[in-house]
Amino acid sequence: MRVDNFRNDINGLRAYAIVFVVLYHFNIPLFKAGFIGVDVFFVISGFLMTKIIASGLIQHNFHFGAFFASRFIRIIPPVILLVLAVFFINLFILTPVELREYAKYSIKALSFTSNFSLLKDANNYFSSVGQENLLLHTWSLSVEWQFYLIYPFILWIGFKFTQSLKKITLLVAALFILSLAACIVMTERNQFYAFYMLVTRAWEMLAGGLVFLFKAGANKAAASAAPFYAGVLALLMSLILFDDRIAWPGYCAALTVAGTALIIYAERQASFLFSGKWLSLIGLSSYSIYLWHWPVRYFLYYAGTKLGTFYTVCAVMLSFAIGLLSYFVLEKRLFSWFKSKKRLTSMTVICLSLAVMISVSDFTRKSSGFPWRGGVSYMAAIEHLALPNPKNGWCFYTIASTPSLTVGKEGVECHIGATEEGGKKALLFGDSYAGQYLPLWDALGRKTGLDIQAVTTNWCNPSDGEDFFGPKTSRAYEQCLYNRHYVTENIQNYDYIILGGSWSKNFSSPDTVKGLEHIINLAKGKKIIIMAEPYQFNADVGELYKRSVWKKERFDISPYMDALSLAGMKNADDILDKLSQTYSNILYLTRDDLFDKSQYANRDVPYSLDGGHISVVGSVEAEKFFSSHAGRNKLEAFLSN
């Protein structure tokens, strides 16, 4: 069996792949499918890893320690350098919340679990929200590293029991088919999963492995140029036919993977397509360019730079320049230094550096991104920009995020408003979209003589069933069931029922509407007040406001107001309007009753905390608006009838 050394064609493929990715991320028109560069990298990785592992196993000189040490030395130091350098930049630029989020994802990047984190957050790589993540691009490194951890053992076990290259090829082919099938199915059912998970991406790397195994079995290189040109054509077709609106990876990615595999199989190293000094340099430093290009893009957009043609070209050139410098000035020297030392020394230094950087990131996360960096004025401005919770003196039962809280009766013992003896009894029931109104109802309750018991916890929309929009593994689900049982058993003990929920999201399920109607029917003879949800933005308005305070700029909410006509909000309004017309004992307090149409609570401070909920200050100011406008009269007339 012939084992190749440096391959110009593979290095050229790396260069093209990174060019595709960078130009895609900078929105160059002809590269709307530039994301296929990642798929090209996966195939190359599979080929090279199979060559290293299979060659060693066949020649009886493969050692797991040496394999993993070489992967550590090549992959981890550049990531540590990136995370460290960007961390220091972020200390002077990012808001505390943004720095905290960066620290959180730093830990995921350094532990090579970014893909799991992005899947958990349902973070779409192609969406504008997903692209606000400074370390979004590290998901592919996580997938590759997970492949490196598992694949050597599969091949080792296969060789140990078969000692047959042909049978190993069949084993890898079988895994390839299973992974491809899973990818196609999951792309239709859950594209996030298919995009980020190893099980649905492994087939791309296994395709590269099959190329090596076929060539090793044939013991000769491909004689015909046909596979090479077919592969080039397949990659060109991928660039032309696809864009980021397509369901990816799925069966469409097979064209890209097949094209890359054919080029590697053909081994046309003398082709003019893979020659040239700059192409070689870009290929050699492609990993470094990949690591650095995304932060360059992020910081330019973060600064509010709208890239025209000239600035786009400059940004692309800057990305390549930083990547090349990082590789040749820092990483190549580090790599040589580690290679010159004993394996134990190299691994110890890398692991200690990794542990220190993870510890720094974890401390930053736990310290909430060091809010003191903004000074006294910033701290004062954001003090009440939070959801009401036990930490800021309110009794919304945030059991999902507060470990000290326990499931049970403590979650239904919250009282606000006119809590002295003799006040009329009211119940505030619902999820965080009810809990956000605690400051509002505390003030209104005192003004209207209502002793309000708040039974609110995370994701627990008003219902008597088991419908729940959070993870059912959360303690919030147990508390929600407790809350609902408590309410159904005691609902007749109240004079008034106040209901709040994330209606536009929850009403996507018919069970939620039915559950709400069941609660209404249980409260026969009682007056029911249904609270509208706040305006739902397509952006984290509260964080954008904090960013403007951080930059000492006035916050302009108008660019984010286009979300006010979302179909989900209109559908929720229609359902709640219909309920209030169907049942004479229901008062629906609309957004116009509760909030100023400007969506500013006061001055340039928005009601909105995160684009969905309102903050403590938003709730306080909403009560002031409500009490000084027609909403207060509307409520008092309803209560007195």
For the chain, the domains span 8-368, 390-640
299 has a pLDDT exceeding 70: yes
Q: Which fold has domain 390-640?
A: Rossmann fold (3.40.50)
How does pLDDT run across 618-638, given as a tens digit for each residue? 999 999 999 999 888 999 999
State the alpha helices, DSSP H only, in 326-382: 332-340, 343-366, 375-382
553 has a pLDDT exceeding 90: no
How does pLDDT run across 178-202, given as a tens digit for each residue? 999 999 999 999 999 999 999 999 9
State the pLDDT at residue 3. Answer: 46
Token pair belonging to 619 = 């709730």
User: Are the C-beta atoms of 425 and 639 separated by less than 8 Å?
Assistant: no
State the pLDDT at residue 429. Answer: 98
The confidence band for 31, taking pLDDT boundaries of 50, 70 and 90, is very high
Q: Which of 1-15, 570-584, 587-601 has the lowest mean pLDDT?
A: 1-15
270 has a pLDDT exceeding 90: no
User: Are the C-beta atoms of 289 and 41 separated by less than 8 Å?
Assistant: no
Interstrand relation of 414-417 and 450-456 (parallel, antiparallel or unpaired): antiparallel
Whole-angstrom Cα distance, residue 131 to residue 129? 5
2 has a pLDDT exceeding 80: no
How does pLDDT run across 331-369, given as a tens digit for each residue? 888 888 888 889 899 999 999 999 999 999 999 999 999
State the pLDDT at residue 1. Answer: 39
Whole-angstrom Cα distance, residue 528 to residue 588? 8
State the pLDDT at residue 244. Answer: 83
In degrees rounded to 5, what are phi and psi of residue 135? Answer: -115, 25
517: exposed, middle or buried (C-beta count within 10 Å: 0-12, 13-18, 19+)?
middle
User: Are the C-beta atoms of 385 and 370 separated by less than 8 Å?
Assistant: no
Whole-angstrom Cα distance, residue 480 to residue 541? 28
Question: What average pLDDT is seen over the chain?
Answer: 91
Mean pLDDT, to the nearest integer, of 453-461?
96
Q: Closest Cα partner for 208 from 54, 74, 65, 67?
A: 54
How does pLDDT run across 72-98, given as a tens digit for each residue? 999 999 999 999 999 999 999 998 989
Query: Which run of H or of E encompasses 417?
Result: strand 414-417
User: Are the C-beta atoms of 389 and 616 separated by less than 8 Å?
Assistant: no
Strand partners, 452: 416, 426
Query: Which run of H or of E encompasses 529?
Result: strand 527-531
